[in-house]
Chain A
Amino acid sequence: MTSTIEGPIPLVDYLRLGDDPHLVANECKSCGARYFERRNACPACESTEFSVVRVPTEGVLKTFTIVNVAAPGVSVPFVAGVIDCDGTRVRANLVNVEPSPGLVSVGLPVRLTTVSIGVDELGVEAIGFGFEPTAALQAPLPQAERDESGS
């Protein structure tokens, strides 16, 4: 009996891994509405024809919250938000940013990145996604300046 260790598995099937990680959506062939989950029919126009389209990996933060208390098993704190990726609204976590109201604001340019979710008992890694600030938010102050301003 041989066990085959597969490659990483995406957290959700609309995350495509590989050299160029990106999200895909089911786009209604009739009205263009996009869905990240399987839909029987388009709730906007009732059409039943969809095609899979790539979603841009860069976008702008439209709203957010910083979750400090969550359901059991959910790691806190984290920044949750909605990103507008050139017209497609994506629900995601904001990652690689300190979860502080002073450092996160609506309008922040962000880009898709991947994060490890964990490894199952067969050794397979699950990979999720988040969005990170496109530009460094705040360059760390040089040590000397930090000391001077530290009151």
Chain B
Amino acid sequence: MSESAFIVGIGMTKFGKHPSLDTEDLGVEAVLGALADADMRMSDVEILTAGNIMGGVGIGQRLQKQLGQRGIPVFNVENACATGATALRTLILAIKAGEADVGLAIGVEKLAGVGLLSRGGVHPSESHPSWSPSGRQGAVTDVDGLIGTESMPGTFAQVGIEYLAQHGYTGDPLELFARISVKNHKHSTLNPLAAYTKELTLEQVMGDLMIAYPNTRSMCSANCDGAAALLVVSSTTFRSLSLRQRSRAVKVTASVLTSDAWQDGCQALWDVNCLTRAAARQAYEAAGIGPEDLDMVELHDCFATAELVHYDNLELCEPGGAVDFFNSGAPWRDGKTPVNVSGGLESKGHPISATGLANIWEICHHLRGEAGDRQVAGARVGLAHVLGLGSSCGVHILEKTSVA
């Protein structure tokens, strides 16, 4: 048994287009970065948890073939956009159970140029020899676009519009969500590893290509390539490290994974709220803190509409108060609770399986005081959140270690 888990090494590639690198190249770069940061080698690693969705079977073993094969257990995990957080959660289960003292979590994805993700069914515009009912709804053709939308921008657009309607918002939704996107794009200008680092005006965001109202293109997460890796150790190993290693270590005070409990109406629209609320509650309880104690948050802004509802789901504001919270300036980098100072998924990018580790990479930099120009002054506690449709939610709370 280990009381706690400590992140002692972090590595991340630049997010963006890497046409000359394959999935393994990206993963190796992140892992070598984490090992160097921790002053460790693959031969120190006792367990590997690995996340990848688009690149084929067995990413963990494929990475070992480029890094070092020593027969350690490999857990290849997949939980949609929460895959990276699931890799870390799995690793921490093993560390806290006492099965391993040193482990590595890696998430990697090649997603540049993939475009709008879809299931690729046969649509009515294509030829049908004869209508033939199939599946659990007896559908005679792909129903995306005929019975609502299965697109991610459209799904999360409905989540945001529903929230505004529930709480009596009377302003222009497009303008509100565009302002959230302006914040994240502004933040990204200080992050050298972000896929996009261009500041955008409100007019540019509102006037960009409309994908699914009210989400324009610049309010959507950017498909890109990237990888992130974390080296995690037990309390025992932590105590054996050098003063320098310990002083840069980050303590994981909460590691929570939830799935979507049944809700009335969840077959009509994916529930992204209840499982996030449940994960946040469990995480605050485990860490023994409240949302008011957070110095920074990296949350899953797969779309600007998602960021708004997660202010509320993570209890960063009063129930129903997400719009007021945003309008107060709190989630800006110099605000009360900075949110997505990395630029978020909208500008840093969203290489699916890397995302849930990259947000922790970001927070570790701030807690170490190594975030450079975008440093959140005096950051000691941070929360990282991801949400994968289907659904899974990962929440991790991280604290700066105090070493005498």
| Interface size grouping (class) on chain B | 35 or more
Q: List chain B residues, Cβ under 8 A from A128.
A: 146-147
Cα distance A68–B123 in the bound complex, in angstroms: 17
- Given A9-B140, A69-B212, A121-B127: A92 and B148 interface contact (C-beta under 8 Å): yes
Q: Tell me which of A33, A66, A106 has the highest count of chain B C-beta atoms within 10 A of its own C-beta.
A: A66
Q: Do A72 and B118 touch across chains, with their CB atoms under 8 A apart?
A: yes
Q: Tell me which of A67, A75, A121 has the highest count of chain B C-beta atoms within 10 A of its own C-beta.
A: A67
Q: Do B211 and A120 touch across chains, with their CB atoms under 8 A apart?
A: no
Q: Supply 8 A–B pairs (Cβ within 8 Å), ascending by A.
A: A33-B262, A36-B137, A37-B136, A63-B165, A82-B162, A91-B269, A117-B141, A118-B128
Residue of B nearest to A107 (CB): B165
Contact of B124 among A38, A80, A101, A118 (CB under 8 A): A118
Number of A-B contacts (CB under 8 A): 181
Cα distance A72–B121 in the bound complex, in angstroms: 9
Q: List chain A residues, Cβ under 8 A from B119.
A: 71
Asked if B197 is at the interface of the complex by the 8 Å CB criterion, the answer is no
Interface bits A81-125 vs B (CB < 8 Å: 1, else 0): 110100001111100000001000011000000000110111010
Q: List chain A residues, Cβ under 8 A from B173.
A: 101
- Given A35-B267, A93-B147, A128-B146: A13 and B133 interface contact (C-beta under 8 Å): yes
Q: Do B161 and A91 touch across chains, with their CB atoms under 8 A apart?
A: no
Q: Do B118 and A71 touch across chains, with their CB atoms under 8 A apart?
A: yes
Contact of A68 among B136, B142, B211 (CB under 8 A): B211
Asked if B282 is at the interface of the complex by the 8 Å CB criterion, the answer is no
Q: List which B143-175 residues lie within 8 A (CB) of chain A.
A: 143-151, 153-155, 157-159, 161-162, 165, 173-174
Q: Do A65 and B213 touch across chains, with their CB atoms under 8 A apart?
A: yes
Cα distance A134–B46 in the bound complex, in angstroms: 64
Asked if B20 is at the interface of the complex by the 8 Å CB criterion, the answer is no
Q: Do A71 and B154 touch across chains, with their CB atoms under 8 A apart?
A: no
Q: List chain A residues, Cβ under 8 A from B93.
A: none
Cα distance A84–B264 in the bound complex, in angstroms: 11
Q: List chain A residues, Cβ under 8 A from B143.
A: 11-12
Q: Tell me which of A33, A63, A76 has the highest count of chain B C-beta atoms within 10 A of its own C-beta.
A: A63
Q: Do B264 and A101 touch across chains, with their CB atoms under 8 A apart?
A: no
Q: Shortest beta-carbon distance, B241 to chain A, in Å?
A: 46
Residues of B within 8 A of A (CB): 116, 118-131, 133, 135-151, 153-155, 157-159, 161-162, 165, 173-174, 209-215, 262, 264-265, 267-269
Residue of B nearest to A123 (CB): B130
Q: List chain A residues, Cβ under 8 A from B213.
A: 65-68, 101
Cα distance A73–B265 in the bound complex, in angstroms: 28
Q: Do A78 and B210 touch across chains, with their CB atoms under 8 A apart?
A: no
Q: List which A24-70 residues lie within 8 A (CB) of chain B.
A: 33, 35-39, 43-44, 62-70
Number of interface residues of A (CB under 8 A): 51
Q: Do B162 and A120 touch across chains, with their CB atoms under 8 A apart?
A: no
Q: List chain B residues, Cβ under 8 A from A101.
A: 173-174, 213-214
Give 7 closest A-B pairs by Cβ, nearest first. A13-B138, A73-B123, A71-B118, A74-B145, A89-B265, A65-B157, A63-B162
Residue of A nearest to B216 (CB): A68
Q: Shortest beta-carbon distance, A22 to chain B, in Å?
A: 15
Cα distance A33–B148 in the bound complex, in angstroms: 21
Cα distance A11–B211 in the bound complex, in angstroms: 26
Cα distance A80–B154 in the bound complex, in angstroms: 8
Q: Do A43 and B162 touch across chains, with their CB atoms under 8 A apart?
A: no
Q: Do A73 and B154 touch across chains, with their CB atoms under 8 A apart?
A: no
Q: List chain B residues, Cβ under 8 A from A17.
A: none
Cα distance A74–B118 in the bound complex, in angstroms: 11
Contact of A71 among B120, B139, B210, B268 (CB under 8 A): B120
- Given A62-B162, A70-B149: A121 and B264 interface contact (C-beta under 8 Å): no
Residue of A nearest to B162 (CB): A63
- Given A71-B116, A73-B125, A73-B126: A11 and B146 interface contact (C-beta under 8 Å): yes
Q: List chain A residues, Cβ under 8 A from B212.
A: 65-69
Cα distance A65–B164 in the bound complex, in angstroms: 13
Q: Shortest beta-carbon distance, B212 to chain A, in Å?
A: 5
Q: List chain A residues, Cβ under 8 A from B129.
A: 120-122
Q: Do B142 and A14 touch across chains, with their CB atoms under 8 A apart?
A: no
Q: Do B153 and A82 touch across chains, with their CB atoms under 8 A apart?
A: no
Given contacts A12-B143, A128-B146, 17 further A-B contacts (CB under 8 A): A10-B138, A10-B140, A11-B143, A12-B140, A13-B138, A33-B264, A38-B137, A63-B158, A65-B153, A65-B214, A67-B149, A71-B116, A71-B118, A73-B145, A80-B158, A82-B265, A120-B130
